């Protein structure tokens, strides 16, 4: 018989009461069973933002602007292509996100995608469920119809952004103009039914309770049971600095909290193949500890990132540094693509 699934009550107990070392050890053993080869993957990617104008104006965001702000911008498709050309030449995936611009249309989205594909062979990983939901409302279409158009443009994977915390008690406070948690899950279910592979995220360290984190994980597990379309789970912590929410939450989550959530996710999300521990979104030590607490992926070697930079949070590294960090944690480093297929292994 397999390992019994964690109940909500058991998961809450692990999150709140079990010593971190014990929780990490349990999660690491589970990870070793799933990935006995002792490998940690990462992706070479770039994360351009085609606009910083967003009418959603989430409380945690320091990046968004109104159209009439002096530093507001909207790239043309050619400007976007020119911006990412060096990264694409280096073999990077393009994780394309913007926001909820009031004037962008579905045809504009198609123009961005086509401009990127004209650069040559490139994997474009665009548009979160929240963006898809907003575009569907703007165009008077269903979210499934928007997703079908993306498939026609050659898109096969979607990022899991915009999930934040899926419980609406939290969402209505930190992102009251964004789609609901149920909307986010519906878009993901439709995407999986259409053949997309997607990631799932969690943003913690603000106004959420332990119950919200556990319920978020359980909602993801339930959807994965039905569709099997999630490739990985990616948590990250709220970064105070520059956003309206920073006035209420002035201190970020402790790195130990991040590692605890990584470990809990590995145990709760028994139907997810991959859990990501990021050197980028947290500090390097927390990222490495996450690899010893259940994670098997180390995120990306980002060639461009703008959103966290606006909070004053800046991390810089290169491919060799990421390989070294993975080796220091006791694993073999391997570069992957957005389908989590290994494309190169870096042996000592």
Instruction: Note the helical H segments in 194-328.
Output: 210-227, 255-268, 284-291, 319-328
Q: Are 128 and 96 in contact (CB under 8 A)?
A: no
Q: Give the whole-angstrom CA distance, residue 42 versus residue 36.
A: 17
| pLDDT tens digits, one per residue of 50-67 | 999 999 989 998 888 999
Q: Is the pLDDT of residue 1 over 80?
A: no
pLDDT digits (tens, 9 = 90+) for 172-200: 999 999 999 999 999 999 999 999 999 99
Average pLDDT estimate for 38-50 = 94
Angle at 280 between CA 291 and CA 63, to 5 degrees: 145
Compute φ and ψ for 320, nearest 5 degrees. -65, -35
Three-class secondary structure of residue 315 per DSSP:
coil
Indicate whether 211 pLDDT > 60: yes
Q: What percent of the chain has pLDDT over 90?
A: 82
- Residue 99 included in any domain: yes
The average confidence (pLDDT) of the chain is 92
Distances (CA, A) of 338 to 34, 91, 288, 320: 19, 12, 21, 20
Q: Would you call 125 helix, strand, or coil by DSSP?
A: strand
pLDDT for position 305: 40
Confidence tier at 36 by pLDDT (50, 70, 90): very high
Contacts with 32 (C-beta within 8 Å, 6 or more apart), sequence order: 38
For residue 307, pLDDT over 60 is answered with: no
Of residues 8 and 91, more confidence is placed in 8
**Residue scoring higher pLDDT (204 or 90):** 204
Cβ(136)–Cβ(142) under 8 Å?
yes
pLDDT at 319: 85
Residue 55's contacts (CB-CB under 8 Å, 6 or more residues apart) are 99, 100, 101, 102, 177
At 268, which CATH number?
A: 3.20.20.70
Angle at 191 between CA 266 and CA 61, to 5 degrees: 70
Q: Is the pLDDT of residue 270 over 50?
A: yes
> Tens digit of pLDDT for each residue in 145-172?
999 999 999 999 999 999 999 999 999 9
Name the β-bridge partners of 203: 236
Q: By residue range, what is the domain housing residue 281?
A: 8-346
Partners of 126 in the β-ladder: 96
Flag the least confident range among 72-76, 233-237, 246-250.
Answer: 246-250
What per-residue confidence (pLDDT) applies to 316?
Answer: 52
pLDDT above 80 (res 310): no
In a domain, 3, yes or no: no
pLDDT of residue 281 exceeding 80: no
> What average pLDDT does this structure show over 293-310?
71
Distance CA 347, CA 331 (A): 10
Q: Does residue 283 carry a pLDDT above 90?
A: no
Reported confidence tier of residue 332, pLDDT bands at 50, 70, 90: very high
Asked if the structure places residue 2 within a domain, the reply is no
Residue 287, in any domain of the structure: yes
Average pLDDT, stretch 102-120? 96
Instruction: Provide the token pair at 144.
Output: 């499934």
pLDDT score for 134: 96
341 part of a folded domain: yes
Q: Total structural domains in the chain?
A: 1
Give percent of the chain with pLDDT exceeding 70: 95
d(CA 87, CA 238): 27
At 311 the pLDDT is 37
User: Is 161 within the bounds of a domain?
Assistant: yes
Classify residue 1: in a domain, yes or no.
no
Question: 3-class SS at 25?
Answer: helix
pTM of structure: 0.94
């Amino acid at each position: 018989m397999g390992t019994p699934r964690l109940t909500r009550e058991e998961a809450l107990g692990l999150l709140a009461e079990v010593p971190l070392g014990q929780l990490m050890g349990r999660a690491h053993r589970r990870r070793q069973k799933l990935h006995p080869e002792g490998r940690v993957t990462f992706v070479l990617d770039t994360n351009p933002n085609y606009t910083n104008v967003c009418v959603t104006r989430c409380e945690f965001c320091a990046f968004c602007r109104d159209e009439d702000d002096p530093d507001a911008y909207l790239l043309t498709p050619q400007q976007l292509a020119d911006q990412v050309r060096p990264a694409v030449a280096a073999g990077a995936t393009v994780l394309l996100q913007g926001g909820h611009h009031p004037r962008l249309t579905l045809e504009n989205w198609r123009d961005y995608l086509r401009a990127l594909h004209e650069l040559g062979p490139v994997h474009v990983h665009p548009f979160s469920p929240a963006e898809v939901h907003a575009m569907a409302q703007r165009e008077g279409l269903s979210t499934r119809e928007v997703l079908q158009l993306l498939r026609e443009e050659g898109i096969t994977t979607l990022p899991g952004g915009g999930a934040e915390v899926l419980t609406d008690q939290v969402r209505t406070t930190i992102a009251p103009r964004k789609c609901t948690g149920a909307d986010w899950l519906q878009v993901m279910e439709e995407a999986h039914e259409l053949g997309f592979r997607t990631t799932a995220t969690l943003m913690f360290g603000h106004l959420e309770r332990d119950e919200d984190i556990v319920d978020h994980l359980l909602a993801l597990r339930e959807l994965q049971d039905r569709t099997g379309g999630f490739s990985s789970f990616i948590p990250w912590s709220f970064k105070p600095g520059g956003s309206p929410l920073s006035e209420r939450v002035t201190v970020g989550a402790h790195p130990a909290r991040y590692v605890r959530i990584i470990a809990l996710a590995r145990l709760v999300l028994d139907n997810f193949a991959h859990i990501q521990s990021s050197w980028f979104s947290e500090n390097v030590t927390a990222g490495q500890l996450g690899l010893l607490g259940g994670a098997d992926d180390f995120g990306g070697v980002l060639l461009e990132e703008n959103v966290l930079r606006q909070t004053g949070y800046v991390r810089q590294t290169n491919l060799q540094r990421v390989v070294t960090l993975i080796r220091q944690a006791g694993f073999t480093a391997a570069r992957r693509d957005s389908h989590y297929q290994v494309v190169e292994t870096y042996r000592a």
